Structure 1
Amino acid sequence: MVSSHGGHLTELRMLADAFAGHDLFYVTYESERTSQLDIDPYTVENIGTSPVSMATAFGKILRWFWAQRPDVVVSTGSEIAIPAFVVGQLFGATTIFVESWCRVTNRSATGKLVYPFVDHLFVQWPELLDEYGEKAEFQGSVV
């Protein structure tokens, strides 16, 4: 379960019940919101647009995924999803991106960037299906 803090983490937590009975771990940013999770998350510095922070996050996620060996990597965004999906693909994990509920008619920057690295991409509005292409699925919203 990978996401930035704030709304992305809120949506990701709404999806957690779908994985009941499976071992879960979170990769996110250190913040007051992450302290509210029911399990201790792996945390990285906020990446933003920093190439150094992205490279650092990539290295940390590589180590964590090496130890955890996830079968599935799920993310609701934002930029923290990029290294997580790349590393997840390297380990043969199924990768799932859930586009943000606030994206009704246009793709997020993260969605555009991770599209090549995901096995499944879910949109929360049917109007967004045509923007993404054949990988996109609409199964309703998490909100």
Structure 2
Amino acid sequence: MHVTINLDYTLFIQLGLFLIFMFIMKKIYFQPYLEAFEERESTVKKLLQEAETNNQQAQEILKEVDAILSKVKEESKKILEQSSRETNQMVAEIIRKAQEEAEKEIEEAKKDIDRIVEIETKTLDISIEKIAEKIVDKLTLKEKAA
């Protein structure tokens, strides 16, 4: 008994054609798409890294801005306090000067009143003396006549 095996080469031919087809498809179709996907993936990774870097820089800038704002607030508070103190000092100085001027004017008015009273007193004394002389003259005339 002798067994003969008939080999069917069509299986090998189909396998070879399939491999050739896969090679051609890989070169023409799959490889450009894979390269495009890889390029897109690397671009997305780069953009994500840049976004993360930009986010970190933005956070650092925000911290710096917050620090600057707090310094500016402190400085403005100091300036406001200083200007308030200076304003209060100026107001106190103006009030003091006004009081001094008022006191000077009151003193001058008192002196003027004292001078006027003195003048009026002298005038009144002179008038009283004249009246007294007239009374004495009248009394002496009456005594002479009597």
TM range (shorter): under 0.3
What is the TM-score normalised by the length of structure 1? Answer: 0.14
Higher relative contact order (CA 8 A, sep 6+): 1
Structure with the largest fraction of helix: 2
